[in-house]
Amino acid sequence: MITERKATLTIHGEASWPISILAPTQGANCLDIRTLGGRSGYFAYDSGFESTAGCKSRITCIDGEKGEVLHYGYPIEQLAEQCDFLEVAYLLKNGELPNAVQKHSFESAIRKQASMHEQMVKFYQGFRRDARPMAVMVGVVGALSAFHHDAADFSDAERRNLSFHRIVARMPTIVAMAYKYSIGEPFMSPRYDLGYTANFLYMMFGTPRETYMPIPAMVRALNKLFIVQAEQGQDAATSTVRMAGSSGANPFACVAAAIACLSGPAHAGASEACLAMLEAVGDVTRVAEFIALARVDSGSLLQVGFGHPVCTTFDPRTQVMRAAYNELLKDLGLEDHRLFKVAKAIENIAFEDPFFVENKLYPNLDFYSALVQKALGIPTSMFTCIISLARTAGWMAQWEEMLSDPEYKIARPRQLYIGVNRRNLSSSA
């Protein structure tokens, strides 16, 4: 990073303080205000942290103006087309894609850790049957800390590797068990002979009564969904991982905190809301009515499948999932399904209608993620769980990067206090 350039902060035309300008590899420059408070007595106020960089990272670059999403420099669309999810997970952790030997070793390590401790299996019985799967996941993932005390010591690379393998390997098992528990079906143990994505589908939809083998088209579509959702840069959930991890918390506790953050409707809940919106439209005959209402309240669409607050041109992840969605519908023979016909009609209008085009309200990643999951037979209550599964590799990569940062220390954001000034209690009579 280049730091030779300087800016100057002048207050009331009198006192001035020089501020270094940090130039990233790609993206906007940053003002280095780390020592500003100590030097000047002034702090920055930035609700939502939209103008503040809380860390340095090499993992992901999202350039909304260029429409680029890069993981260690690799375009997300190339990764989604040419890699499987575990290769991308390896990349996020290590900074390079694995060679054949590294890939085999990594896959073997993940397979070895996929099964759950028998006492963890019983842990599910403490939840109500109607508990939201995301609530179950927060509890179960957090409970991993109680089963792996060694994870609290992450002072060497081998211990961190083991924690990474454990949580990435067990997330499919944890998610599938949360689903099975919610519908009252027996848990399915992971199979060593299946790949990561196929194994997850087997644990979700297999039963002891019959032989289940995932359809290749389903595996391909879900693999791409996992890849495009694996890492999103410094969003709320990832920042939660770093915030919790800055205290030295167990990595499983950090991931549980991120899952809790992700469960909010303003975060990954958008896919669930998107499908609810399509269900509310109901039939292609009502699409025109929906479009007319959207013109009146276009802002509501930002959280239900259209537009993006960062990618202002196009999001390459959306292009990947759109292609995967169309391929999946064709392979499963679902093109004439009522809901997907509604989605197709809305999609066509969004790409051609001047109102949508001018306001950049194109179908986004949430739109296609919801439709792919619906086509796979995943219920809406599980949508955010699927995203959590995919995001775990990215969260753990961010956690480990934070630990290796020489500037790593406990996070302590400032506040702008607007409460009552000091006052005294009245003397009693």
Catalytic residue numbers, as ranges:
308, 366
3-state SS class at 257: helix
3-state SS class at 76: helix
- Measure the CA–CA gap between 217 and 323, rounded to whole angstroms: 12
Range list of β-strands (E), 144-278: none
Find the distance separating the first CA and the last CA of the chain, reported in whole Å: 66
Q: What are the structure tokens assigned to 299, written together?
A: 């802002």
- Measure the CA–CA gap between 120 and 399, rounded to whole angstroms: 24
**DSSP per-residue codes, 133-155:** HHHHHHHHHHHHHHH-GGGG---
Closest CA to 167 of 257, 60, 251: 251
- Measure the CA–CA gap between 94 and 72, rounded to whole angstroms: 10
State the residue for tokens 């996070």: 411
Contact 333, 340 (CB under 8 A): no
3-state SS class at 306: strand
Which helix (H) or strand (E) segment holds residue 264: the answer is none
**DSSP per-residue codes, 358-415:** HTT--B-HHHHHHHHHHHHT--GGGHHHHHHHHHHHHHHHHHHHHHH-TT--------
Contact 67, 311 (CB under 8 A): yes
Q: Which amino acid is at 258?
A: A
- Measure the CA–CA gap between 341 and 333, rounded to whole angstroms: 12
Helices (H) then strands (E): counts for the chain: 18, 6
Q: What are the structure tokens assigned to 12, written together?
A: 């009331």
Q: At what angle do helices 196-205 and 85-94 cross, to 10 degrees?
A: 120
Closest CA to 125 of 190, 204, 188, 178: 178
Closest CA to 317 of 5, 101, 79, 26: 79
**DSSP per-residue codes, 169-183:** HHHHHHHHHHHHHHH
